């Protein structure tokens, strides 16, 4: 190969080097597990919500309530406390829980605290501005029978670039009348994240 | 063909097939030798001027506009500097977003790239990505915790407190030397305050205890005594938890301390004042010129031997490059910029009632920490710099001889001279210490916490110290059991 061709080849490589894509987006199914950093992610949130709601609805308290009151229990999701080392978006997890509970068709689900405030404001405004026959009256909200609340906690251990993250999600169903805990569920996830100290 | 080639007047045919014209050669020579000698605008001086003029948004704009100047290798430093200026400008959400990115960058930097390390060995340590000293890494989480606390997002502030705990635990496991920086009294103390403010009394007690131990362990070099409030906090939380053994232990340790029961304080509101006082130390180059022949020794002696960074590096480069027998080593030197304000003061003026004046006290001596961090790393920096200087000299020598031989008998002597000047001059010119540090930090961090009756207050910083207090913090409205965090910047 003469010098001119080598030069041309080098020039082509240099020029094409600049054409490499910096950002690449690939659309994947939302069910696909994408563990990138080892942190709490959408997959964890969804999987924990699904399995815990399934477990919660499989216990005897539901049948006991239905047979004694002849109706479905009314459930509200309360505070899920983030006691972890990460800024977990608890709202996403709460939304996952709400979705699973509602879609189960085994309980009647009522809006949580934040949503209720908004609905009440809307009713107040209806009382002032809407046609009388279309106004929704106050004092007709359905009171919840049970509140689901809980926490997400982590235990972290790290040495020499290897990190073990242990997530523990505790959820409980509390009877709003008697404060009795009718169900207590726990889900644990353990992840090991390994980082290489040096690469070429 | 080389990209450097123009239509040559006198061409130097080299055996590796590159034609370099004499004009291009001298242009390249001048560029390489004088690189790094040009004056650079000191952005930290500009930031300081903005802060003095009570314009923290201007200070932030200076950092933001310099993002490209920081470069890829100092992305962490950019995040830290920007996180601080945004914090001072009162943009706490944005500050946290930037600091979160900085923390992620820090995580990535755990993995070192061998080619980057090699490049840094061939040039200087500034080619390495900036990782920050351990105390700076802890301060990222401290700043984030404060941002969340000011925003009233207490659960998120606690996430940062847990991260501080984890970071310090990993650091403590990694560091074997007892006297080293392996725990952080201030970070622990702040964590305790955050835990107690959210009702997590047990976690607060543990954090206070660790803070006390850390302050005691680092006392000799941090020049930071145990804050006078900390024993009171320890006693109060120990009592609230019914830890009788710990309570009696601390009572005998602090016989004069008087505290109010936690229950009584819950009826009151709490104000935590964080005061950033003065300027963090900066780093300078300290050049050590090592002669490896007698005439080089004379030259170095004539050139004042041990030089300061203010010297004209271009002249040194050409002179030592021509001589070819001087090896230069650059080491960083810490220049403290101590504050003259011993304590900061804030007045809380209620709508009716008597004003409360709060005196802060030293809790974090950044200059002492920077000094400790540099001295801990100095042995490694020095041995690396010496090895690098020796390698650079040997390579320059080999290149010069190679070029002389390649040029043949006629052109050999002057090609050797030019290549020697270029390579040895480069070896001297490229030597530079890593002078990067989180310079938007203060010299000292002061803290005060006070419990006051709930109500509406006007906040007035001490006029004598020209303190900078964000506009949003000029007034406070506090309910029982609530905590407000006040941030102020005091310039010396």
Dump the DSSP string for B64-98: HHTHHHH-GGGHHHHHHHHHHHHHHTT-HHHHHHH
Asked if B159 reaches chain A (Cβ–Cβ under 8 Å), the answer is yes
For A141, which DSSP code?
P
For B238, which DSSP code?
H
Nearest-angstrom CA–CA distance, B261 and B388: 61
Q: What pLDDT was estimated at residue B12?
A: 43
Q: What pLDDT was estimated at residue B35?
A: 47
Q: What pLDDT was estimated at residue B14?
A: 43
Residue in chain B lying closest to A195 (CA): B111
Does the pLDDT value for residue B7 go beyond 80?
no
Query: Of residues B121 and B80, which shows the higher confidence score?
Result: B80
CB B79 within 8 A of CB B101: yes
Nearest-angstrom CA–CA distance, B465 and B347: 13
CB A80 within 8 A of CB A149: yes
Nearest-angstrom CA–CA distance, A101 and B178: 54
What is the CA A40 to chain-centroid distance, rounded? 10
Across the interface, of A87, A158, A200, the residue whose CB is closest to B115 is A200
Query: What's the whole-model pTM score?
Result: 0.82
Q: What pLDDT was estimated at residue B138?
A: 97
Across the interface, of A154, A159, A199, the residue whose CB is closest to B111 is A199
Query: Of residues B204 and B314, which shows the higher confidence score?
Result: B204
For A144-190, how does the pLDDT look when each residue is reduced to its tens digit (9 = 90+)? 999 999 999 999 888 888 888 899 999 999 999 999 999 999 999 99
Residues of A in contact with B1 (CB under 8 A): 3, 7
CB B310 within 8 A of CB B366: no
Backbone angles phi, psi at B178, to 5 degrees: -70, -35
Asked if B1 reaches chain A (Cβ–Cβ under 8 Å), the answer is yes
For A27-47, how does the pLDDT look when each residue is reduced to its tens digit (9 = 90+)? 777 667 767 777 888 888 888
CB B272 within 8 A of CB B449: yes
Q: What pLDDT was estimated at residue A7?
A: 59
Q: What pLDDT was estimated at residue A195?
A: 81
pLDDT band at A16 (very low <50, low <70, confident <90, very high): low
Q: Smallest Cα–Cα separation from B96: which of B164, B161, B145?
A: B145
Q: What is the mean pLDDT of residues B207-234?
A: 95
Asked if B156 reaches chain A (Cβ–Cβ under 8 Å), the answer is yes
Residue in chain A lying closest to B172 (CA): A159
Cα pseudo-dihedral B45, B50, B53, B57, rounded to 10: -160
For A99-135, how does the pLDDT look when each residue is reduced to its tens digit (9 = 90+)? 888 888 889 888 888 788 899 999 999 999 999 999 9
Q: What pLDDT was estimated at residue A113?
A: 80
Q: What is the mean pLDDT of residues B328-344?
A: 88
Nearest-angstrom CA–CA distance, B379 and B177: 15
pLDDT band at B118 (very low <50, low <70, confident <90, very high): confident
For A176, which DSSP code?
T
Q: What pLDDT was estimated at residue A3?
A: 54
For B79-110, how does the pLDDT look when each residue is reduced to its tens digit (9 = 90+)? 999 999 999 999 999 999 999 999 999 988 88
Residues of B in contact with A84 (CB under 8 A): 159, 162
Per cent of chain B over pLDDT 70 is 86
Most confident of A59-63, B112-116, B215-219, B382-386: B215-219
* Span of A131-135, B120-124, B204-208 with lowest mean pLDDT: B120-124
Q: Smallest Cα–Cα separation from B155: which of B202, B186, B195, B117?
A: B195
């Amino acid at each position: 190969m003469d010098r001119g061709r080598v030069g041309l080849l080098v020039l082509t490589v240099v020029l094409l080097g600049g054409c490499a894509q910096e950002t690449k987006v690939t659309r994947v199914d939302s069910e696909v597990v994408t563990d990138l950093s080892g942190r709490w992610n959408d997959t964890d949130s969804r999987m924990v919500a699904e399995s815990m709601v399934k477990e919660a609805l499989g216990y005897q308290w539901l049948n006991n309530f239905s047979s004694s009151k002849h109706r479905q229990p009314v459930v509200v999701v309360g505070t899920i406390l983030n006691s972890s080392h990460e800024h977990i978006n608890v709202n996403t997890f709460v939304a996952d829980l709400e979705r699973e509970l509602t879609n189960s068709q085994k309980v009647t689900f009522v809006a949580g605290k934040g949503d209720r405030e908004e609905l009440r404001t809307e009713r107040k405004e209806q009382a002032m501005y809407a046609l009388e026959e279309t106004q929704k009256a106050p004092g007709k909200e359905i009171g919840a029978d049970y509140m689901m609340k809980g926490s997400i906690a982590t235990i972290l251990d790290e040495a020499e670039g290897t990190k073990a993250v242990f997530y523990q999600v505790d959820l409980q169903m509390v009877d709003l009348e008697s404060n009795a805990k009718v169900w207590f569920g726990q889900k644990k996830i353990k992840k090991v994240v390994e980082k290489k100290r040096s690469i070429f | 063909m080389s990209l450097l080639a123009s239509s040559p007047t006198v061409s130097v045919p080299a055996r590796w097939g590159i034609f370099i014209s004499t004009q291009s050669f001298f242009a390249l020579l001048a560029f390489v030798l004088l690189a790094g000698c040009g004056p650079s605008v000191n952005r930290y001086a500009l930031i300081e001027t903005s802060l003095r003029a009570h314009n923290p948004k201007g200070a932030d704009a200076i950092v933001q506009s310099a993002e490209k100047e920081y470069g890829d290798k100092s992305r962490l430093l950019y995040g830290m500097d920007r996180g601080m200026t945004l914090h001072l400008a009162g943009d706490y959400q944005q500050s946290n977003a930037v600091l979160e990115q900085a923390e992620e960058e820090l995580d990535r930097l755990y993995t070192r790239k061998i080619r980057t390390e090699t490049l840094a060995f061939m040039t200087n340590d500034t080619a390495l990505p900036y990782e920050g000293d351990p105390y700076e890494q802890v301060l990222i989480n401290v700043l984030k915790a404060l941002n969340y606390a000011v925003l009233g997002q207490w659960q998120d502030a606690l996430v940062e407190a847990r991260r501080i705990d984890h970071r310090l635990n990993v650091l403590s496991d990694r560091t074997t030397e007892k006297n080293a920086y392996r725990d952080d009294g201030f970070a622990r103390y702040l964590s305790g305050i955050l835990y107690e403010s959210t009702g997590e009394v047990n976690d607060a007690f543990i954090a206070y205890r660790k803070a006390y131990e850390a302050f005691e362990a680092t006392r000799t070099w941090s020049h930071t005594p145990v804050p006078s409030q900390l024993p009171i906090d320890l006693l109060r939380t120990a009592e609230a938890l019914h830890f009788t053994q710990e309570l009696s232990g601390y009572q005998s340790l602090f016989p004069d301390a008087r505290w109010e029961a936690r229950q009584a304080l819950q009826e009151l509101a709490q104000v935590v004042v964080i005061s950033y006082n003065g300027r963090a130390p900066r780093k300078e180059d300290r050049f050590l010129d090592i002669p490896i022949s007698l005439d080089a020794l004379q030259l170095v002696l004539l050139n004042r031997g041990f030089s300061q960074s203010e010297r004209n590096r271009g002249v040194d480069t050409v002179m030592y490059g021509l001589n070819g027998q001087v090896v230069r080593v650059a080491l960083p030197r810490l220049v403290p910029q101590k504050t003259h304000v011993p304590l900061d003061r804030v007045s809380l003026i209620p709508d009716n009632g008597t004003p409360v004046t709060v005196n802060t006290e030293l809790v974090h001596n950044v200059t002492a920490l920077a000094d400790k961090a540099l001295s801990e790393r100095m042995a490694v920096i020095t041995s690396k710099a010496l090895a690098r200087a020796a390698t650079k000299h040997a390579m320059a020598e080999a290149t010069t001889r190679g070029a002389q031989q390649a040029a043949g008998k006629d052109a050999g002597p002057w090609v050797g001279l030019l290549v020697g000047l270029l390579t040895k001059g480069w070896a001297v010119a490229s030597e530079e210490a890593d002078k990067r540090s989180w310079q938007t930090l203060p010299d000292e961090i002061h803290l005060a916490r006070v419990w006051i009756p709930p109500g509406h207050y006007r906040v007035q910083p001490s006029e004598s110290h020209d303190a900078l207090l964000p506009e949003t913090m000029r007034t406070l409205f506090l309910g029982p059991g609530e905590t407000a965090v006040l941030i102020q910047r005091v310039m010396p």
